[in-house]
Chain A
Amino acid sequence: DAKTTQPPSMDCAEGRAANLPCNHSTISGNEYVYWYRQIHSQGPQYIIHGLKNNETNEMASLIITEDRKSSTLILPHATLRDTAVYYCIVSRGNYGQNFVFGPGTRLSVLP
């Protein structure tokens, strides 16, 4: 599975959009981009995933560049409860796939 690169930490003001970048320059054509987050003392929580097209759900938006070598997770109106470690993972869409977690980005939402 392809490796990802994320900034170790970011700050965001409450109520503003949080834009979390991820580089995955070695992604292959059949690999998806997944985003999870982990709030302190909890298990990772699924946020969103995509292959080529931009995706949006009730939690966030995922923007994938045309060459698929990078992506951005957007939390449109960050709240204090969005403070967490955010993981970007690339993985094949096969049943029973193996996720490889990096250290992620620690997002701090500031009042």
Chain B
Amino acid sequence: EAGVAQSPRYKIIEKRQSVAFWCNPISGHATLYWYQQILGQGPKLLIQFQNNGVVDDSQLPKDRFSAERLKGVDSTLKIQPAKLEDSAVYLCASSVRLAGGDTQYFGPGTRLTVL
């Protein structure tokens, strides 16, 4: 079974530029998550989709971050304009219900450096 795919793996941009990340979840997984992981910290949830609807975006900085999940499969996360503090790894995860509770499976992440 293929895992969660993300691209690009690395991105370097200057502040005030825009950037987009792409995620393809595991086939059949209805729930998709985007996390931000700053160096030395655990991942922090940015947004959660169920199919193509948003379940939770309470921690998404909506003045500069946006995300969409067209047709309930692939998803893109965009930052416009980027700030220095956005330098982090952006992780995508998808989940399926196993016996007793969901289990989230993570992609390799996109490492963003904002200069």
Residues of A at the B interface (CB closer than 8 Å) are 32, 34, 42-46, 49-51, 87, 91-104
Contact = CB atoms under 8 A, between A and B. Distances in A.
Interface residues of B, number: 28
A98 B105 contact: no
Contacts of B108: 42-43
Contacts, number: 64
B51 to A, nearest CB: 10
Contact of A45 (B35, B40, B97, B106): B106
A93 B95 CA distance: 12
A98 B48 contact: yes
Contact of A93 (B30, B35, B102): B102
Interface string B35-70: 100001111110010100001100000000000000
A32 B100 contact: yes
B79 interface: no
Contacts of A42: 108-109
Contacts of B103: 34, 46, 49
B43 A95 contact: no
A18 B48 CA distance: 33
B104 interface: yes
A44 to B, nearest CB: 5
A52 B95 CA distance: 22
Nearest to A93: B101
B73 interface: no
Nearest to B51: A96
B101 A87 contact: no
Given A91-B101, A96-B31, A97-B102, A102 B109 contact: no
Contacts of A94: 102
A49 B106 contact: no
Residue from B42, B50, B93, B103 having most chain A Cβ neighbours under 10 A: B42
B44 to A, nearest CB: 7
A87 B35 CA distance: 15
B109 A49 contact: no
